[in-house]
Amino acid sequence: MLSSSFSSSSSILPVRNKSPSVFLSSAISSLFRNGALNNRVFFTAQFPRAVSLRCFASSTGFDRVKVQNPIVGMDGDEMTRIIWCMIKEKLILPHLDLDIKYFNLGIMNRDATDDKVTVESAEAALRYNVAIKCATITPDETRVKEFGLKSMWRSPNGTIRNILNGTVFREPILCKNIPRLVPGWKKPICIGRHAFGDQYRATDRVITGPGKLKMVFVPEGGDKPVELEVYNFKGPGVALAMYNVDESIRVFAESSMSLAFSKKWPLYLSTKNTILKKYDGRFKDIFQDVYEKNWKDKFEEHSLREGGYVWACKNYDGDVQSDLLAQGFGSLGLMTSVLLSSDGKTLEAEAAHGTHRFEVPRDLSCRAKLDKNKRLLDFVQKLEAACIETVEAGKMTKDLAILIKGPKVSREFYLNTGDFIDAVAVNLEQKLWQPTVSE
Protein backbone atom coordinates (compact mmCIF):
# COMPACT_ATOMS: atom_id res chain seq x y z
CA MET A 1 0.00 0.00 0.00
CA LEU A 2 2.73 2.45 0.88
CA SER A 3 5.61 1.49 -1.38
CA SER A 4 7.39 3.04 -4.35
CA SER A 5 6.45 6.27 -6.03
CA PHE A 6 7.84 8.19 -8.95
CA SER A 7 5.35 8.41 -11.78
CA SER A 8 3.22 11.35 -12.85
CA SER A 9 0.96 13.15 -10.41
CA SER A 10 -1.81 11.12 -8.84
CA SER A 11 -3.88 11.11 -5.68
CA ILE A 12 -4.84 8.59 -3.03
CA LEU A 13 -8.59 8.13 -2.70
CA PRO A 14 -9.99 8.24 0.84
CA VAL A 15 -11.24 4.65 0.78
CA ARG A 16 -12.80 3.33 3.98
CA ASN A 17 -12.83 -0.38 4.65
CA LYS A 18 -13.91 -2.40 7.66
CA SER A 19 -11.38 -5.11 6.82
CA PRO A 20 -7.91 -3.55 6.72
CA SER A 21 -6.17 -6.77 5.76
CA VAL A 22 -8.32 -7.19 2.66
CA PHE A 23 -7.90 -3.56 1.64
CA LEU A 24 -4.14 -3.55 2.11
CA SER A 25 -3.47 -6.82 0.36
CA SER A 26 -5.60 -5.87 -2.64
CA ALA A 27 -3.93 -2.48 -2.79
CA ILE A 28 -0.50 -4.06 -2.79
CA SER A 29 -1.37 -6.51 -5.55
CA SER A 30 -2.85 -3.81 -7.78
CA LEU A 31 -0.23 -1.13 -7.26
CA PHE A 32 3.00 -3.08 -7.58
CA ARG A 33 4.66 -4.11 -10.78
CA ASN A 34 7.21 -6.73 -9.82
CA GLY A 35 10.41 -7.40 -11.65
CA ALA A 36 13.90 -8.83 -11.30
CA LEU A 37 17.27 -7.31 -11.99
CA ASN A 38 20.29 -9.59 -11.72
CA ASN A 39 18.47 -11.85 -9.26
CA ARG A 40 17.25 -8.89 -7.18
CA VAL A 41 13.57 -8.17 -6.73
CA PHE A 42 12.44 -4.59 -7.22
CA PHE A 43 9.06 -2.90 -7.02
CA THR A 44 7.63 0.15 -8.72
CA ALA A 45 4.26 1.78 -8.30
CA GLN A 46 2.14 4.56 -9.72
CA PHE A 47 2.57 7.20 -7.01
CA PRO A 48 4.44 10.51 -7.40
CA ARG A 49 7.76 10.60 -5.59
CA ALA A 50 6.26 12.64 -2.76
CA VAL A 51 2.67 11.85 -1.79
CA SER A 52 0.50 11.99 1.29
CA LEU A 53 -0.94 8.66 2.43
CA ARG A 54 -3.62 8.25 5.08
CA CYS A 55 -4.99 4.95 6.35
CA PHE A 56 -8.75 4.79 6.93
CA ALA A 57 -8.83 1.15 8.06
CA SER A 58 -9.81 0.45 11.64
CA SER A 59 -9.04 -2.46 13.93
CA THR A 60 -11.95 -4.26 15.55
CA GLY A 61 -13.24 -2.53 18.65
CA PHE A 62 -10.30 -0.14 19.06
CA ASP A 63 -10.74 3.61 18.89
CA ARG A 64 -7.88 4.63 16.62
CA VAL A 65 -5.61 7.40 17.82
CA LYS A 66 -5.83 10.63 15.88
CA VAL A 67 -2.36 12.01 15.03
CA GLN A 68 -2.78 15.73 14.40
CA ASN A 69 0.33 16.32 12.29
CA PRO A 70 2.02 14.23 9.58
CA ILE A 71 5.25 12.30 9.66
CA VAL A 72 7.60 11.89 6.69
CA GLY A 73 8.12 8.33 5.46
CA MET A 74 11.32 7.63 3.51
CA ASP A 75 11.11 4.23 1.84
CA GLY A 76 14.30 2.27 1.17
CA ASP A 77 15.74 -0.63 -0.78
CA GLU A 78 15.30 -4.38 -1.06
CA MET A 79 13.78 -6.19 1.94
CA THR A 80 13.59 -3.12 4.19
CA ARG A 81 10.79 -1.62 2.12
CA ILE A 82 8.83 -4.89 2.33
CA ILE A 83 9.34 -5.18 6.11
CA TRP A 84 8.41 -1.51 6.57
CA CYS A 85 5.19 -2.11 4.64
CA MET A 86 4.39 -5.07 6.93
CA ILE A 87 5.07 -2.99 10.04
CA LYS A 88 2.75 -0.23 8.86
CA GLU A 89 0.04 -2.69 7.85
CA LYS A 90 0.05 -4.72 11.07
CA LEU A 91 1.38 -2.48 13.85
CA ILE A 92 0.78 1.16 12.94
CA LEU A 93 -2.06 1.96 10.58
CA PRO A 94 -4.74 -0.25 12.20
CA HIS A 95 -4.31 1.79 15.39
CA LEU A 96 -3.42 5.30 14.22
CA ASP A 97 -5.17 7.83 11.99
CA LEU A 98 -1.84 8.95 10.58
CA ASP A 99 -0.92 11.10 7.58
CA ILE A 100 2.38 9.94 6.02
CA LYS A 101 4.22 12.21 3.60
CA TYR A 102 5.82 9.54 1.44
CA PHE A 103 9.17 9.65 -0.41
CA ASN A 104 10.67 6.79 -2.38
CA LEU A 105 14.42 6.64 -1.69
CA GLY A 106 14.89 3.34 -3.52
CA ILE A 107 18.07 3.32 -5.58
CA MET A 108 16.25 3.33 -8.92
CA ASN A 109 14.14 6.35 -7.99
CA ARG A 110 17.14 8.26 -6.67
CA ASP A 111 18.78 7.59 -10.01
CA ALA A 112 15.65 8.62 -11.95
CA THR A 113 15.41 11.92 -10.04
CA ASP A 114 19.18 12.62 -10.02
CA ASP A 115 18.97 12.18 -6.24
CA LYS A 116 16.67 15.19 -5.88
CA VAL A 117 14.16 13.03 -4.02
CA THR A 118 16.66 12.63 -1.17
CA VAL A 119 17.01 16.39 -0.78
CA GLU A 120 13.23 16.82 -0.98
CA SER A 121 12.68 14.21 1.74
CA ALA A 122 15.12 15.98 4.06
CA GLU A 123 13.45 19.33 3.43
CA ALA A 124 10.09 17.71 4.22
CA ALA A 125 11.55 16.37 7.47
CA LEU A 126 12.48 19.93 8.46
CA ARG A 127 8.98 21.10 7.54
CA TYR A 128 7.05 18.43 9.47
CA ASN A 129 9.70 17.82 12.20
CA VAL A 130 9.34 14.02 12.33
CA ALA A 131 10.58 11.47 9.80
CA ILE A 132 11.34 7.78 9.58
CA LYS A 133 13.81 6.35 7.09
CA CYS A 134 14.32 2.80 5.83
CA ALA A 135 17.76 1.40 5.03
CA THR A 136 19.02 2.36 1.57
CA ILE A 137 21.76 1.26 -0.81
CA THR A 138 24.80 3.51 -1.14
CA PRO A 139 26.15 2.47 -4.53
CA ASP A 140 29.77 1.55 -5.21
CA GLU A 141 31.25 0.64 -8.60
CA THR A 142 29.65 -2.81 -8.51
CA ARG A 143 26.19 -1.44 -7.70
CA VAL A 144 26.44 1.19 -10.44
CA LYS A 145 27.02 -1.57 -12.97
CA GLU A 146 24.43 -3.90 -11.41
CA PHE A 147 21.59 -1.37 -11.53
CA GLY A 148 22.76 0.57 -14.57
CA LEU A 149 22.93 3.83 -12.62
CA LYS A 150 23.80 7.20 -14.13
CA SER A 151 26.12 8.08 -11.27
CA MET A 152 27.65 6.72 -8.06
CA TRP A 153 25.20 8.64 -5.88
CA ARG A 154 26.24 9.73 -2.42
CA SER A 155 24.92 8.14 0.74
CA PRO A 156 21.30 9.24 1.36
CA ASN A 157 22.06 9.22 5.08
CA GLY A 158 24.96 11.61 4.53
CA THR A 159 22.82 13.96 2.43
CA ILE A 160 19.95 13.99 4.93
CA ARG A 161 22.26 14.41 7.91
CA ASN A 162 24.02 17.36 6.33
CA ILE A 163 20.70 19.09 5.57
CA LEU A 164 19.34 18.48 9.06
CA ASN A 165 22.80 19.33 10.49
CA GLY A 166 22.34 17.35 13.65
CA THR A 167 23.58 14.55 15.86
CA VAL A 168 22.83 10.84 15.51
CA PHE A 169 22.20 9.12 18.85
CA ARG A 170 22.45 5.33 18.87
CA GLU A 171 21.64 3.28 21.94
CA PRO A 172 21.30 -0.48 22.51
CA ILE A 173 17.99 -2.10 23.45
CA LEU A 174 18.54 -4.46 26.35
CA CYS A 175 16.54 -7.69 26.42
CA LYS A 176 16.91 -9.92 29.47
CA ASN A 177 17.39 -13.14 27.49
CA ILE A 178 19.85 -11.84 24.85
CA PRO A 179 23.44 -12.54 25.98
CA ARG A 180 26.11 -9.88 25.51
CA LEU A 181 29.45 -10.49 23.88
CA VAL A 182 30.90 -8.16 26.50
CA PRO A 183 29.28 -9.42 29.73
CA GLY A 184 30.67 -6.53 31.76
CA TRP A 185 28.47 -4.04 29.89
CA LYS A 186 25.61 -4.00 32.38
CA LYS A 187 24.27 -0.55 31.50
CA PRO A 188 23.65 1.01 28.07
CA ILE A 189 26.16 3.22 26.29
CA CYS A 190 24.68 5.85 23.99
CA ILE A 191 26.79 6.96 21.02
CA GLY A 192 26.35 10.60 19.99
CA ARG A 193 27.61 10.75 16.40
CA HIS A 194 28.21 14.17 14.90
CA ALA A 195 26.25 14.03 11.65
CA PHE A 196 27.84 16.83 9.64
CA GLY A 197 30.94 17.08 7.46
CA ASP A 198 34.23 15.20 7.88
CA GLN A 199 34.65 12.11 5.67
CA TYR A 200 30.97 12.13 4.67
CA ARG A 201 31.32 15.38 2.74
CA ALA A 202 35.00 15.11 1.89
CA THR A 203 36.65 15.60 -1.49
CA ASP A 204 39.01 12.78 -2.42
CA ARG A 205 41.12 12.16 -5.47
CA VAL A 206 43.42 9.56 -6.94
CA ILE A 207 46.82 11.08 -7.67
CA THR A 208 48.14 9.69 -10.93
CA GLY A 209 51.79 10.71 -10.70
CA PRO A 210 54.45 13.01 -9.23
CA GLY A 211 53.44 16.54 -8.24
CA LYS A 212 52.59 18.88 -5.39
CA LEU A 213 49.28 18.74 -3.55
CA LYS A 214 48.21 22.11 -2.13
CA MET A 215 45.28 23.36 -0.08
CA VAL A 216 44.10 26.90 -0.75
CA PHE A 217 41.67 29.03 1.28
CA VAL A 218 40.36 32.14 -0.47
CA PRO A 219 38.81 34.55 2.10
CA GLU A 220 35.78 36.63 1.20
CA GLY A 221 36.44 40.36 0.99
CA GLY A 222 39.55 40.23 -1.11
CA ASP A 223 42.09 39.25 1.55
CA LYS A 224 45.17 37.37 0.44
CA PRO A 225 44.56 33.62 -0.15
CA VAL A 226 46.16 31.18 2.28
CA GLU A 227 48.07 28.42 0.53
CA LEU A 228 49.34 25.30 2.31
CA GLU A 229 51.52 22.65 0.76
CA VAL A 230 50.12 19.26 1.78
CA TYR A 231 52.48 16.76 0.15
CA ASN A 232 55.02 16.45 -2.63
CA PHE A 233 54.08 13.21 -4.42
CA LYS A 234 56.92 11.19 -5.94
CA GLY A 235 54.47 8.79 -7.57
CA PRO A 236 50.78 7.75 -7.63
CA GLY A 237 48.70 7.95 -4.46
CA VAL A 238 45.48 9.31 -2.99
CA ALA A 239 44.43 12.56 -1.33
CA LEU A 240 41.55 13.68 0.87
CA ALA A 241 40.28 17.08 2.00
CA MET A 242 37.52 17.44 4.59
CA TYR A 243 35.99 20.16 6.71
CA ASN A 244 33.68 21.08 9.57
CA VAL A 245 32.26 24.32 10.94
CA ASP A 246 32.16 25.83 14.43
CA GLU A 247 28.38 26.27 14.38
CA SER A 248 27.76 22.57 13.80
CA ILE A 249 30.38 21.47 16.34
CA ARG A 250 28.79 23.76 18.93
CA VAL A 251 25.34 22.28 18.24
CA PHE A 252 26.89 18.80 18.53
CA ALA A 253 28.25 19.73 21.95
CA GLU A 254 24.97 21.24 23.14
CA SER A 255 22.84 18.29 22.01
CA SER A 256 25.26 15.75 23.51
CA MET A 257 25.29 17.52 26.87
CA SER A 258 21.52 18.00 26.80
CA LEU A 259 20.93 14.27 26.21
CA ALA A 260 23.46 13.22 28.86
CA PHE A 261 21.87 15.57 31.39
CA SER A 262 18.34 14.34 30.60
CA LYS A 263 19.48 10.73 31.11
CA LYS A 264 21.50 11.67 34.20
CA TRP A 265 24.55 10.05 32.61
CA PRO A 266 28.11 11.39 32.30
CA LEU A 267 29.35 12.51 28.88
CA TYR A 268 32.69 11.67 27.23
CA LEU A 269 34.16 13.14 24.04
CA SER A 270 36.77 11.20 22.08
CA THR A 271 39.15 12.94 19.67
CA LYS A 272 42.68 12.51 18.34
CA ASN A 273 43.79 16.04 19.16
CA THR A 274 47.32 14.83 19.94
CA ILE A 275 47.75 14.23 16.20
CA LEU A 276 45.15 16.50 14.58
CA LYS A 277 45.99 19.41 16.87
CA LYS A 278 43.93 21.99 14.99
CA TYR A 279 41.12 19.87 13.52
CA ASP A 280 40.30 17.61 16.48
CA GLY A 281 41.59 20.26 18.83
CA ARG A 282 38.79 22.53 17.61
CA PHE A 283 36.21 19.93 18.68
CA LYS A 284 37.82 19.64 22.11
CA ASP A 285 38.01 23.41 22.63
CA ILE A 286 34.40 24.06 21.59
CA PHE A 287 33.10 21.24 23.81
CA GLN A 288 35.05 22.69 26.73
CA ASP A 289 33.69 26.18 26.04
CA VAL A 290 30.08 24.97 25.82
CA TYR A 291 30.50 22.96 29.01
CA GLU A 292 32.02 25.85 30.98
CA LYS A 293 29.41 28.39 29.84
CA ASN A 294 26.20 26.36 29.85
CA TRP A 295 26.50 23.01 31.60
CA LYS A 296 29.23 22.89 34.26
CA ASP A 297 27.05 23.96 37.19
CA LYS A 298 24.22 21.59 36.20
CA PHE A 299 26.49 18.56 35.87
CA GLU A 300 28.36 19.27 39.10
CA GLU A 301 25.16 19.91 41.04
CA HIS A 302 23.56 16.62 40.02
CA SER A 303 26.68 14.40 40.01
CA LEU A 304 25.41 12.29 37.12
CA ARG A 305 26.13 8.60 37.74
CA GLU A 306 22.76 6.83 37.55
CA GLY A 307 23.11 4.88 34.30
CA GLY A 308 25.61 4.20 31.56
CA TYR A 309 27.18 7.10 29.70
CA VAL A 310 26.92 9.16 26.52
CA TRP A 311 29.93 8.94 24.21
CA ALA A 312 30.27 11.89 21.80
CA CYS A 313 32.15 10.90 18.64
CA LYS A 314 33.11 12.62 15.42
CA ASN A 315 31.22 11.51 12.31
CA TYR A 316 33.34 8.56 11.14
CA ASP A 317 34.28 7.47 14.67
CA GLY A 318 30.61 7.35 15.63
CA ASP A 319 29.83 5.23 12.58
CA VAL A 320 32.45 2.62 13.47
CA GLN A 321 32.02 2.65 17.25
CA SER A 322 28.22 2.32 17.12
CA ASP A 323 28.64 -0.91 15.13
CA LEU A 324 31.15 -2.20 17.69
CA LEU A 325 28.89 -1.18 20.55
CA ALA A 326 25.81 -2.86 19.10
CA GLN A 327 27.71 -6.10 18.60
CA GLY A 328 29.13 -5.98 22.12
CA PHE A 329 25.65 -5.59 23.57
CA GLY A 330 24.46 -8.64 21.63
CA SER A 331 23.09 -7.72 18.22
CA LEU A 332 23.34 -5.10 15.48
CA GLY A 333 19.55 -5.35 15.27
CA LEU A 334 18.95 -4.29 18.87
CA MET A 335 19.93 -0.66 18.44
CA THR A 336 17.93 2.55 18.18
CA SER A 337 19.15 5.34 15.91
CA VAL A 338 17.71 8.85 15.84
CA LEU A 339 18.99 12.01 14.17
CA LEU A 340 18.25 15.27 16.00
CA SER A 341 18.50 18.47 13.97
CA SER A 342 20.70 21.35 15.04
CA ASP A 343 17.78 23.30 16.52
CA GLY A 344 16.46 20.25 18.36
CA LYS A 345 13.04 20.54 16.67
CA THR A 346 13.36 17.78 14.04
CA LEU A 347 13.90 14.07 14.60
CA GLU A 348 14.57 11.45 11.94
CA ALA A 349 14.47 7.83 13.08
CA GLU A 350 16.76 5.60 11.03
CA ALA A 351 16.86 1.84 10.61
CA ALA A 352 20.13 1.26 12.44
CA HIS A 353 22.39 -1.22 10.63
CA GLY A 354 19.66 -1.89 8.07
CA THR A 355 17.17 -3.32 10.59
CA HIS A 356 13.54 -2.50 11.40
CA ARG A 357 12.80 -3.09 15.06
CA PHE A 358 12.66 -0.03 17.26
CA GLU A 359 12.93 3.10 15.12
CA VAL A 360 9.12 3.39 14.77
CA PRO A 361 8.36 3.95 18.50
CA ARG A 362 11.12 6.59 18.79
CA ASP A 363 9.76 8.43 15.77
CA LEU A 364 6.16 8.40 16.92
CA SER A 365 7.22 9.31 20.45
CA CYS A 366 8.73 12.53 19.11
CA ARG A 367 5.49 13.28 17.22
CA ALA A 368 3.50 12.66 20.41
CA LYS A 369 5.67 14.98 22.50
CA LEU A 370 5.69 17.77 19.89
CA ASP A 371 1.90 17.57 19.54
CA LYS A 372 1.31 17.00 23.28
CA ASN A 373 -0.69 13.92 22.26
CA LYS A 374 -1.02 11.76 25.39
CA ARG A 375 -2.94 8.97 23.66
CA LEU A 376 -0.26 8.65 20.99
CA LEU A 377 2.49 8.61 23.62
CA ASP A 378 0.66 5.84 25.48
CA PHE A 379 0.38 3.85 22.24
CA VAL A 380 4.10 4.30 21.55
CA GLN A 381 5.08 3.10 25.03
CA LYS A 382 2.92 0.02 24.63
CA LEU A 383 4.30 -0.69 21.15
CA GLU A 384 7.89 -0.58 22.36
CA ALA A 385 7.05 -2.73 25.38
CA ALA A 386 5.31 -5.22 23.07
CA CYS A 387 8.45 -5.51 20.92
CA ILE A 388 10.78 -6.13 23.88
CA GLU A 389 8.44 -8.47 25.73
CA THR A 390 7.86 -10.55 22.61
CA VAL A 391 11.61 -11.20 22.36
CA GLU A 392 11.89 -11.85 26.10
CA ALA A 393 9.05 -14.38 25.81
CA GLY A 394 11.20 -16.41 23.41
CA LYS A 395 9.57 -15.30 20.15
CA MET A 396 12.33 -13.90 17.97
CA THR A 397 13.96 -13.96 14.56
CA LYS A 398 16.87 -16.25 13.73
CA ASP A 399 19.61 -13.64 14.25
CA LEU A 400 18.64 -13.35 17.92
CA ALA A 401 17.94 -17.05 18.40
CA ILE A 402 21.50 -17.83 17.27
CA LEU A 403 22.81 -15.69 20.13
CA ILE A 404 20.95 -17.89 22.63
CA LYS A 405 21.02 -21.35 21.03
CA GLY A 406 24.15 -21.15 18.89
CA PRO A 407 24.71 -21.19 15.09
CA LYS A 408 22.98 -24.57 14.64
CA VAL A 409 19.71 -23.42 16.22
CA SER A 410 16.78 -25.58 15.09
CA ARG A 411 13.70 -24.18 13.37
CA GLU A 412 11.32 -24.39 16.32
CA PHE A 413 13.31 -21.75 18.22
CA TYR A 414 12.85 -18.83 15.82
CA LEU A 415 10.26 -17.07 13.68
CA ASN A 416 10.46 -15.58 10.22
CA THR A 417 10.00 -11.81 9.98
CA GLY A 418 6.30 -11.96 9.19
CA ASP A 419 5.54 -14.31 12.08
CA PHE A 420 7.58 -12.15 14.46
CA ILE A 421 5.63 -9.03 13.47
CA ASP A 422 2.40 -11.02 13.93
CA ALA A 423 3.51 -12.01 17.43
CA VAL A 424 4.25 -8.39 18.30
CA ALA A 425 0.84 -7.41 16.90
CA VAL A 426 -0.92 -9.90 19.18
CA ASN A 427 1.01 -8.62 22.19
CA LEU A 428 0.24 -5.02 21.22
CA GLU A 429 -3.49 -5.72 20.87
CA GLN A 430 -3.56 -7.10 24.41
CA LYS A 431 -1.70 -4.06 25.76
CA LEU A 432 -4.01 -1.58 24.05
CA TRP A 433 -6.87 -2.79 26.26
CA GLN A 434 -4.81 -2.18 29.38
CA PRO A 435 -5.07 1.13 31.32
CA THR A 436 -3.10 4.07 30.00
CA VAL A 437 0.57 4.14 31.02
CA SER A 438 1.02 6.97 33.51
CA GLU A 439 3.48 9.71 32.61
**Same domain membership, residue 208 and residue 161:** no
Q: Are residues 211 and 109 in the same domain?
A: no
Q: Is 209 helix (H, G, I), strand (E, B) or coil?
A: coil
Residue 378 maps to a domain: yes
Considering the domain architecture, whether residues 23 and 114 belong to the same structural domain is answered as yes
Q: Which of 164-168, 348-352, 356-360, 408-412 has the highest mean pLDDT?
A: 408-412
List the one residue out of 421, 400, 419, 418 whose CA is nearest residue 409: 400
> Mean pLDDT in the chain?
82
β-bridge mates for residue 275, sequence order: none
128 lies in the same domain as 232: no
Domain check: are 156 and 221 in the same one?
A: no
Give a yes or no: residue 301 inside a domain. no
Q: How far apart are CA 342 and CA 345, in angstroms?
A: 8
Is residue 296 one of the residues assigned to a domain?
A: no
Q: Which residues are annotated as a binding site?
A: 138, 155-161, 170, 193
Per the structure, how many domains does the chain have?
Answer: 2
DSSP secondary structure code for residue 268 in this structure: E
Last residue of a domain, which of 212, 240, 268? 240
- 357 and 220 in a single domain? The answer is no
User: Do 101 and 228 have their domain in common?
Assistant: no
The residue segments making up the domain with residue 213 are 204-240
Q: What is the pLDDT of residues 88-112, one digit of tens each?
A: 999 999 999 999 999 999 999 999 9
How does pLDDT run across 27-77, given as a tens digit for each residue? 333 333 344 444 444 444 444 455 555 544 444 456 899 999 999 999 999
Q: Minimal CA–CA distance to 329: which of 170, 191, 176, 179?
A: 179
Report which of residues 234 and 22 the model is more confident about: 234
pLDDT digits (tens, 9 = 90+) for 366-379: 899 899 999 999 99
Going from the C-alpha of 354 to that of each of 16, 89, 319, 387, the distances in angstroms are 33, 20, 13, 17
155: in domain? yes
**Residue 7 region, left (φ>0) first, then alpha (ψ -120 to 50), else beta?**
beta
Using the 3D structure, point to which of 218, 240, 262 is the last residue of a domain: 240
- Tell whether 377 and 429 lie within a shared domain: yes
The answer to whether residues 7 and 136 belong to one domain is yes
Question: Judging by DSSP bridges, how do beta strands 96-97 and 65-66 pair with one another?
Answer: parallel
pLDDT by residue (tens digit) across 245-282?
999 999 899 989 988 888 888 899 999 889 999 999 99
pLDDT higher than threshold 80 for residue 125: yes
Q: What's the predicted TM-score (pTM) here?
A: 0.74
The annotated binding site for D-threo-isocitrate is made up of: 138, 155-161, 170, 193
